């Protein structure tokens, strides 16, 4: 089983969108039984909440399910329970690095690192920008790149 965790600040916009998009991608590609996919926030503000209405709206537009996605806070044990911990921006990575120690086994990176020739280094937070379309397009491209990377690597 390949365990992938997407991380953003509050876990209501970007990371649940990435969780849903990546989940849809692995199902479409026929790998659903090979992956465990989740999302978390570095802050605890929205624990237990459903994704933001803008996230739900865009996922519905593309017929991607957000069922059973609820906000939770990132836990230090996620760095050993997940193979890949994929952050949405530099600040998220900095927040995660605090917890990295000798027991951490996860690959930690940013989603935009998996987008070839991207002019973006970070996935903008639509909670602040209001641009859920831009966020969706970046997440879609990043998830495709991440999936290809994982499949090529073999784990």
Q: What is the pLDDT of residue 103?
A: 86
Q: Dihedrals φ, ψ of 107, to 5°? A: -75, 125
Domains and CATH numbers, the chain: 2-153 (3.40.50.2300)
Q: Per residue in 77-123, pLDDT tens?
A: 999 999 999 999 999 999 999 998 888 889 999 999 999 998 999 99
pTM listed for this prediction: 0.96
Q: If you average pLDDT over residues 58-68, what whole number do you get?
A: 96
Give yes or no: 14 in active site. Answer: yes
Among residues 38, 78, 89, 125, which one is catalytic?
Answer: 125
Among residues 8, 13, 112, 143, which one is catalytic?
Answer: 8
Which strands sit side by side in the sheet containing 35-41, from one edge to the other? 35-41, 2-8, 84-87, 107-110
Among residues 13, 14, 72, 89, which one is catalytic?
Answer: 14
Give yes or no: 133 in active site. Answer: no
Other C-beta atoms lying within 10 Å of the C-beta of residue 8: 30
Q: What is the pLDDT of residue 155?
A: 63
């Amino acid at each position: 089983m390949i365990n992938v965790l997407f991380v953003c600040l509050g876990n209501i916009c970007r990371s649940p969108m990435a969780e849903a998009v990546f989940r849809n991608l692995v199902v479409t590609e026929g790998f659903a039984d090979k992956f465990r996919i989740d999302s978390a926030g570095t802050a605890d503000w929205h624990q237990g909440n459903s994704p933001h209405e803008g996230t739900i709206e865009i996922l519905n537009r593309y017929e991607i399910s957000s069922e059973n996605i609820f906000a939770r806070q990132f836990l230090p044990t996620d760095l050993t329970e997940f193979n890949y911990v994929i952050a949405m921006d530099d600040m998220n990575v900095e927040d995660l690095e605090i917890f990295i120690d000798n027991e951490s086994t996860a690959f930690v990176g940013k989603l935009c690192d998996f987008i070839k020739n991207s002019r973006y280094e970070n996935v903008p937070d639509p909670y602040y920008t209001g641009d859920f379309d831009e966020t969706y397009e970046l997440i879609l491209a990043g998830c495709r790149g991440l999936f290809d990377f994982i499949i090529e690597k073999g784990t």
